[in-house]
Structure 1
Amino acid sequence: MPAGGGRRGDRHARPLVEPIPDEPAATADLGGETALLLADYHAGIEAGLRYERGVELDSAGDERRDRVLDLLVRTDADRLVVLGDLGHRIGGAGDAETAELDALLSAVGVPVTLAVGNHDPGLADEFGDRLTVTPPGGARVGDVGIVHGHTWPAPEVLGADVICMGHEHPAVRLEDAVGGGRAEKAWLRGALDRAAFADAVDLAGVDWRDPELIVFPAFNDRSGGTWVNVDGQGFLAPFLPDGFASAEAYLLDGTRLGDYRRV
């Protein structure tokens, strides 16, 4: 998959956002720092599934934490950025979620920034000494905008060169020659349409740079997903799909699938 956007005015500059092959995560140049970016960690999801759906699953919290630690080592990242839904329980952190996040934040060894998501209420109060938490509309760090996607992005986010978000858990349905199907996690990438934001966001002071939007696949393997190429599977963000001037889907291994609507 192509990396996301070089620095403005220099097409030969190092890309700002580079997906990690075969992983639902990327590195980003935040201007002086290299960050590991991932979305939709959903700590404590097993407790949520038990309460919400009566599904009994052993916790995969240790495995999730180990995956993050491995990626931090592999990328030599200076910071971990979570694009929302670090937690899972919408009504506030429960015991299982708190224990998993305490273990994760104690182990990462780098500063952590959370672009707060709809599943993250209370995390700023619970872990504020170990997290930098953005407002709901996200934030801009260097030339990269970070936002969860459950609300409209802040104007400063829309002034970035590349905008990274989660929330959607995008996946594609793929069929084989005999009609069998499977779902695969996917990235969505495309240019934003300024007109789609004009009525909801004050763009008067925004230096619009024709930003690329990158929608991250969910890091958590148990959080489900939206099949973006299946009729009836709507987007969750208030600015999608209208906010995309165009967008393509890519598998985790970098395979380009083309226009996500025609996969």
Structure 2
Amino acid sequence: MAAVEPVPGEPAAVADCGDERALVVADYHAGIETGLRYERGVELRSDADGRRTRLLALVERVEPDRVIVLGDLIHRIGDPGVDERDEVVALLDALDDRGLPLTLVPGNHDGGVAEAYGDRLTVADAGGHRRGDVGFVHGHTWPDRSILGARTLCMGHEHPQVRLEDEVGGGRTEKTWLRGPLRADPFADELGVDPAALSWPDPPPELVVFPAFNDRSGGTWINVEGQSFLAPFLPAALDDAAEAYLLDGTRLGAYRRI
């Protein structure tokens, strides 16, 4: 069994970290409705209660020992505003009631989280976090070298989606998982070392790019010309054999050929 298994039908996975099982989600974006109002003039009722209910339902379903968020716990870049604070406090209260710790691998939106929430959650290093044979990063920066030794690397940031069309031109957008082998050369170039110095395992580590947990955060269409990845190491570090999967487990095949 793979070290990281998606929860069927959900933008979440269970990671086998050796001594514990973690429920992993990416890009929670608490308070996004306030951000959309000021950034784009879009008025939406807050779905804070819905997001928390969905996450707690996953907790009940998979019974993890820990929750890990792969960055962008909050939406506002910098210090969290009132809406972000209230939403995250309610989530932390609910997890505390269940005796579950939360670990945040900080993303580009999480600059003020450590100061805002103190010791109520664990904020990992921005270069990544490792538990057993699984590494966790947000994806907006290059991972630390120690994270590259993991057998599986989980990341968020991209919010991957596919655009699916039928023969009459109708279409829809679906969240996807993106999974495939990692190539060593781009990381070696960034570190200024020979690829052999990275002791890349055989078979190579697997990259698992998570869909966004937040339903209102948009995403990168991985099969639409003109769309580009956000992570500095993608697509160069992702083998062409990488495949996309819908949330229900449908295998779409090599992402470059969808």
TM over 0.5: yes
Residues 84-132 of structure 1 deviation map (CA, whole Å, 9 limit, x = unaligned): 0011101320110000000001101301111110010110111131111
1:144 equivalent in alignment to 2:139: no
Equivalence for 2:207: 213
1:253 equivalent in alignment to 2:248: yes
Equivalence for 1:226: 220
Look up the equivalent residue of 2:16 and give its one-letter code. D
Equivalence for 2:42: 55
1:111 equivalent in alignment to 2:133: no
How many residue pairs end up in the alignment?
250
1:78 equivalent in alignment to 2:68: no
Equivalence for 1:167: 157
The alpha-carbon distance between structure 1 residues 171 and 111, as it changes in their structure 2 partners (threshold 3 A), is same
Q: Please point out which of 124, 127, 131 is paired with 1:134.
A: 124
State the distance in 2 between where 1:166 and 1:73 align.
Answer: 23
Equivalence for 2:14: 27
State the distance in 2 between where 1:82 and 1:207 align.
Answer: 28
- C-alpha contact (below 8 Å) 1:154/1:201 kept by paired residues: no
What is the root-mean-square deviation in Å for CA atoms of aligned residues?
1.2
State the distance in 2 between where 1:257 and 1:175 align.
Answer: 13
Equivalence for 1:37: 24
- C-alpha contact (below 8 Å) 1:152/1:201 kept by paired residues: no
Equivalence for 1:16: 3
Residues 148-186 of structure 1 deviation map (CA, whole Å, 9 limit, x = unaligned): 000001111110000000000000000012111111000
**Structure 2-normalised TM-score?**
0.94
1:90 equivalent in alignment to 2:84: no
State the distance in 1 between where 2:26 and 2:38 align.
Answer: 23
The 3-state SS of whatever aligns with 2:236 is: coil
Look up the equivalent residue of 1:94 and give its one-letter code. G
Look up the equivalent residue of 1:229 and give its one-letter code. N
Q: Which is richer in helix?
A: 2
1:102 equivalent in alignment to 2:89: yes
The 3-state SS of whatever aligns with 2:191 is: coil
State the distance in 1 between where 2:161 and 2:4 align.
Answer: 20
Show structure 2 runs of 5+ residues with no match: none
- C-alpha contact (below 8 Å) 1:156/1:206 kept by paired residues: no
Q: CA deviation at 1:139?
A: 1.5
Equivalence for 2:232: 238
Q: CA deviation at 1:196?
A: 1.3
- The percentage of counterpart residues that share the same residue type is 64
The 3-state SS of whatever aligns with 1:197 is: helix
The 3-state SS of whatever aligns with 1:188 is: strand
Q: How do 1:194-213 residues align onto structure 2 when only pairs under 5 Å count?
A: 194-201=184-191, 206-209=198-201, 210-213=204-207
Look up the equivalent residue of 1:41 and give its one-letter code. Y
Q: CA deviation at 1:201?
A: 2.9
Look up the equivalent residue of 1:91 and give its one-letter code. G
Please identify, of 228-237 and 132-141, the stretch whose mean Cα deviation from structure 2 is larger.
132-141
